[in-house]
A and B are shown apart, each in its own frame.
Chain A
Amino acid sequence: MNIVIVGHVDHGKSTIIGRLLADTDSLPEGKLQAVKDNCARNAKPFEYAFLLDALQDEQDQGITIDAARVFFKSEKRHYIIIDAPGHIEFLKNMITGASRAESALLVIDAAEGVQENSRRHGYMLAMLGIHQVAVLVNKMDLVDYDQKTFEKIRDEYTQFLSGIGVTATTFLPVSGREGDNVASTSQKMSWFQSDHGRTVLEVLDGFEKEAAPVEKPFRLPVQGVYKFTANGDNRRIIAGTVEAGSLTVGDEVVFYPSGKKSRVKTFEQFNGTSPSVIQAGDAAGFTLEEQIYITRGEIAAKVGEVEPVVSGKLNVSLFWLAHKPLAVGREFSFKIGTIKVPARVEKILRTIDASSLDARQTKQQIERHDVAECEIHLKKAIAFDPTTVMAGTSRFVLVDDYEIRGGGIIREAVVDEQENVRKQVMRRNQAWVYSEIHPDERAERYNQKAALVLITGTEATGKKTLARALEKRLFKEGKFVYFMGIGNLLYGVDADIKEHGKDRTELRREHLRRMAEVSHLLLDAGAILIITARNLTGDDLALIRTGLNGIPTRVVWLGDATPDKDLEPHLSLAAFPDADSVVPEIKRMLQEAGVIFRV
């Protein structure tokens, strides 16, 4: 069982663990003496914490910098004890340590009482999803083993915990330095009685192993779709770890957000016989009856169970760890399960000081170590579960400048204007008749991947001329390419469009939806499709992408006008460009996207 030990700096976390190891004879021979000798050599008093603080910087400064893992065995079971740093500077390391744990020991100094990080760490444990917390009131020797001091801290902290919906398993008075109630019951605190263990050791053994969520709806975030052709292996295996629930051969699965559906054909395993059922915790792999095109990042769910939510606008609670504040509007990457999408904070609903739980007035940015509730907008809709339904699939991290800078949980989806289109696309995908020919086979035949090239810009910038030149050039080079003029749609599939919408925005949305549907058919056939459109916005593009099931889309902007800030074209060119000089640029863009290949 993984246990994390947290609490305010200098409240004695490492000392308690060091003492526990020493008193249970869990240290390698000579380790205790070696550390004692080293202390004597450097003329500093011996502390049990030195047994854990392995880094030279840590011993020099006498603090824990990074979470260490200590392997420990009681008569009941094996433990990994994660010693987390208590200094505020190292909150990110505390979170790293705590997230690996199932249960926690939270240490409070009896003499100093409840401090800032006692509260902050309590709050972080709740947010990280650790529900079993035992509170150790340490350094009882400094308060003469006084019962009243212990009870005062217990009452104060119990009240704080109830404010964040947490109940501590137990409160235990200890002294790490003197060894009271660590591995054996102390005679000095005979006033202390408890059903939940009278020593740290008993408290640890009393923690209950949390069962894997086998009974919950099935969820498997797809890590990859493997087709290794070496040695004639023809299997196309969907691989991932089961987050919750169970799945049996023959079950129908739906992938979200695409809504694609198929039936489980086999479970695959390298060594040993393949199972007929997979369940929460299994690192699994399965094949499907139909040749559907699935990519990393989708979540597999089982037909007939609670469906995951799909949305691009979310209400979340998050914590921020970077020096640079998280400002409204700034772009970062949002990672959830196995998918990563660009995102930005749209609105900060409230920020909370995690050390006092005071809600501050609404700020325009989230500072380091703040906890906040906010609305986040994603470039692309994702599948998830609200945190009250399932913790695992509600957890995300924020990545900025190559690093994880924060994390949080999704509370709920914010209703957005794309919801209807998304539902319609999912219905379409579920009813889709799959070809026996896999998209990869088409890609091999045509020596290209299906992709949409959108040429956009203000009026009279030479969009159509460029589209024609590009089509011709790619065709000449043997590509399966098609330029779809908007006129081809307006009086065809759009002929009845006026009957559908009332206002211009609605009409435009319906037009784009239909355009995306027609595009999707041609792209499913394996084509490179070229479309021109006037003044596409980021919202327009998002809507088109929803209809395309993740098929790559590249945007070329023509002219000097500034495009909508959310459009972010892949290529910007002058108006009326010279085809001979810009077509190679577009080709390069397609090569980089892996659509066509360098010869």
Chain B
Amino acid sequence: MDTLTQLEAKSVYILREAYANFKNLGMLWSIGKDSTVMLWLARQAFFGHVPFPLIHVDTAFKIPEMIEYRDKLALEWNLNMVVGQNVKALEEKQTYPDGAVDRIACCGALKSEALKNTLSGKWKRWRLNHATGKYDVDSNTEPYTGVIVGVRADEEGSRSKERYFSARDEYNAWDIGDQPPEFWNQFKTDFAPGSHVRIHPLLDWTELNIWEYIERENIPTVSLYYDQGKGERYRSLGCYPCTFPIQSGATNVRQIIKELQTGKLKNIAERSGRAQDKDGGGGLEKLRRDGYM
């Protein structure tokens, strides 16, 4: 069995365990390559169906093409699409692009806070209406108790310490120093009231694995990942004020794989174009302890 098939089998096993154990299960879809591969793996696991909602936290600063791509696939693949947003922070312009707060605080408000309140159902959620193609306010306000997230261990230090099934308390906090054990394909599927479990099916995948799988399965991806003639492309996608392209002439999946294999990008961190990681010491670890993905 080749590496990709092995990784795929492990992820499918995790997704099926999640589906069997969590009544209110949802999958975070950031529209990026990783969570789109994860969505594809869900279709593998459930034979073409995705039997839980996909949740997207819309910061309102996403590159517009990402939103178009999201809704196109959601309609085509018959996805149960749910969207959340920090409406208050946006209305009051308490954001980095508005010049009101720094990058970390902006991520905290538009992503961590929005995610926390979307998952708990405390804030309004919008659900895609497949008949109209528009988003309606979701009448379901139940909290999600199982949340599937597409983080990978090779992305960054604190992610390399993650469990496949990782507990978050009622404040969404992650007690990174005292995580429960996890072995032999047995995961944390029991949880105290008020808490929830993050499920990480992609933990063992590398950036290269992701692109090789995209190629093998022919998975549609946003064109922002490819050079459109300017000699640059995005390697990691986020909000446009804080995400910067890298110098690369790769125009298709094959060329990206080549780029990763030949080591042209070997010495540059994948998230080097993500400015929030660099503000303060241990920026991403701090964000993640407070509930960031």
Chains A and B are bound partners: yes
Cβ of A212 < 8 Å from any Cβ of B?
A: yes
Cβ of B252 < 8 Å from any Cβ of A?
A: no
18 A-B residue contacts at CB 8 Å?
A: A28-B266, A28-B267, A29-B268, A68-B157, A69-B204, A78-B3, A99-B183, A223-B13, A224-B16, A226-B46, A233-B48, A241-B9, A241-B12, A270-B46, A270-B48, A395-B186, A403-B188, A403-B190
Q: Which of B8, B157, B183, B285 contacts A95 (CB 8 A)?
A: B183
Q: Which residues of chain A come closer than 8 Å to B13, judged between CB atoms?
A: 223, 241, 283
Q: Which residues of chain B come closer than 8 Å to A68, judged between CB atoms?
A: 157, 160-161
User: Is the Cβ of B181 less than 8 Å from the Cβ of A55?
Assistant: no
User: Is the Cβ of B48 less than 8 Å from the Cβ of A397?
Assistant: no
User: Is the Cβ of B184 less than 8 Å from the Cβ of A228?
Assistant: no
Alpha-carbon separation in the docked complex, A283 to B47 (Å): 11
User: Is the Cβ of A283 less than 8 Å from the Cβ of B184?
Assistant: no
Cβ of A56 < 8 Å from any Cβ of B?
A: yes
Q: Give 19 A-B pairs besides A71-B153, A92-B181, A397-B184 with Cβ atoms closer than 8 angstroms.
A: A28-B267, A28-B268, A30-B267, A57-B177, A69-B203, A93-B179, A93-B181, A230-B49, A233-B47, A237-B47, A270-B48, A283-B16, A283-B44, A395-B186, A397-B186, A402-B191, A404-B180, A404-B182, A407-B183
Q: Which of A54, A96, A397 contacts B158 (CB 8 A)?
A: A54
Cβ of A301 < 8 Å from any Cβ of B?
A: no
User: Is the Cβ of A296 less than 8 Å from the Cβ of B180?
Assistant: no
Cβ of A399 < 8 Å from any Cβ of B?
A: yes
Cβ of B176 < 8 Å from any Cβ of A?
A: yes
User: Is the Cβ of B184 less than 8 Å from the Cβ of A99?
Assistant: yes
Cβ of B1 < 8 Å from any Cβ of A?
A: yes
CB distance from A489 to the nearest CB of B (A): 37
User: Is the Cβ of A338 less than 8 Å from the Cβ of B183?
Assistant: no
Alpha-carbon separation in the docked complex, A228 to B42 (Å): 13
Interface string of B161-187 (1 = CB under 8 A from A): 101000000000000110111111010
Q: Which residues of chain A come closer than 8 Å to B49, judged between CB atoms?
A: 226, 228, 230, 233
Q: Which residues of chain A come closer than 8 Å to B188, judged between CB atoms?
A: 402-404
Cβ of B269 < 8 Å from any Cβ of A?
A: yes
User: Is the Cβ of B160 less than 8 Å from the Cβ of A69?
Assistant: yes
User: Is the Cβ of A55 less than 8 Å from the Cβ of B184?
Assistant: no
User: Is the Cβ of A56 less than 8 Å from the Cβ of B47?
Assistant: no
Closest to A129 in B: B184
Cβ of B133 < 8 Å from any Cβ of A?
A: no
Cβ of A231 < 8 Å from any Cβ of B?
A: yes
Report the interface size class on chain B: 35 or more
CB distance from B272 to the nearest CB of A (A): 9
Alpha-carbon separation in the docked complex, A448 to B91 (Å): 49
Alpha-carbon separation in the docked complex, A125 to B132 (Å): 57
Name the residue in A30, A93, A98 with the highest tally of chain B Cβ atoms < 10 Å from its Cβ: A93
Interface string of A8-28 (1 = CB under 8 A from B): 000000000000000000001
Closest to A26 in B: B266
Interface string of B1-32 (1 = CB under 8 A from A): 10100101110110011011000000000000
Q: Which of A96, A237, A335, A395 contacts B163 (CB 8 A)?
A: A96
Interface string of A226-261 (1 = CB under 8 A from B): 101011010101011100000000000000000000
Cβ of A285 < 8 Å from any Cβ of B?
A: yes
CB distance from B199 to the nearest CB of A (A): 14
Q: Which residues of chain A come closer than 8 Å to B63, judged between CB atoms?
A: none
Cβ of B192 < 8 Å from any Cβ of A?
A: yes
Interface residues of A in 416-470 (CB under 8 A from B): none
Closest to B193 in A: A402
Q: Which residues of chain A come closer than 8 Å to B177, judged between CB atoms?
A: 55, 57, 65-66
Cβ of B206 < 8 Å from any Cβ of A?
A: yes
Cβ of A366 < 8 Å from any Cβ of B?
A: no
Name the residue in A29, A66, A70 with the highest tally of chain B Cβ atoms < 10 Å from its Cβ: A66
Q: Which residues of chain B come closer than 8 Å to A338, judged between CB atoms?
A: 17, 20
User: Is the Cβ of A403 less than 8 Å from the Cβ of B20?
Assistant: no
Q: Which residues of chain A come closer than 8 Å to B220, judged between CB atoms?
A: none
**Per DSSP, are chain B's interface residues mostly helix, strand or loop, or mixed?**
loop
Q: Which residues of chain B come closer than 8 Å to A285, judged between CB atoms?
A: 47
Alpha-carbon separation in the docked complex, A125 to B28 (Å): 36
Closest to B180 in A: A403
Cβ of B92 < 8 Å from any Cβ of A?
A: no
Q: Which residues of chain B come closer than 8 Å to A95, judged between CB atoms?
A: 181, 183
| Chain B residues near A (Cβ < 8 Å) | 1, 3, 6, 8-10, 12-13, 16-17, 19-20, 43-49, 51, 78, 153-154, 156-158, 160-161, 163, 176-177, 179-184, 186, 188, 190-192, 203-204, 206, 217, 266-269, 281-282, 285
Q: Which residues of chain A come closer than 8 Å to B163, judged between CB atoms?
A: 96
Q: Which residues of chain A come closer than 8 Å to B182, judged between CB atoms?
A: 96, 99, 404
Closest to A241 in B: B13
Closest to A403 in B: B180
Alpha-carbon separation in the docked complex, A71 to B203 (Å): 12
User: Is the Cβ of B19 less than 8 Å from the Cβ of A212?
Assistant: no
Q: Which residues of chain B come closer than 8 Å to A395, judged between CB atoms?
A: 184, 186
User: Is the Cβ of A224 less than 8 Å from the Cβ of B161?
Assistant: no
Q: Which residues of chain A come closer than 8 Å to B186, judged between CB atoms?
A: 335, 395-397, 404, 407
Cβ of A321 < 8 Å from any Cβ of B?
A: yes
Cβ of A353 < 8 Å from any Cβ of B?
A: no
Name the residue in B16, B51, B78 with the highest tally of chain A Cβ atoms < 10 Å from its Cβ: B16
User: Is the Cβ of B206 less than 8 Å from the Cβ of A55?
Assistant: no
Alpha-carbon separation in the docked complex, A452 to B48 (Å): 36
Cβ of A128 < 8 Å from any Cβ of B?
A: yes
User: Is the Cβ of A407 less than 8 Å from the Cβ of B184?
Assistant: yes
Cβ of A80 < 8 Å from any Cβ of B?
A: yes
Closest to A406 in B: B181
Cβ of A282 < 8 Å from any Cβ of B?
A: yes
Alpha-carbon separation in the docked complex, A96 to B188 (Å): 12
CB distance from B145 to the nearest CB of A (A): 12
Closest to B51 in A: A228
Q: Which of A29, A57, A71, A269 contacts B267 (CB 8 A)?
A: A29
CB distance from B1 to the nearest CB of A (A): 5
Cβ of A281 < 8 Å from any Cβ of B?
A: yes
Closest to B209 in A: A78
User: Is the Cβ of A69 less than 8 Å from the Cβ of B267?
Assistant: no
Q: Which residues of chain B come closer than 8 Å to A69, judged between CB atoms?
A: 153-154, 160, 203-204
Known: A69-B153, A95-B181, A268-B47. A212 touches B1 (CB 8 A): yes
Alpha-carbon separation in the docked complex, A66 to B49 (Å): 36
Cβ of A67 < 8 Å from any Cβ of B?
A: yes
Alpha-carbon separation in the docked complex, A67 to B163 (Å): 10
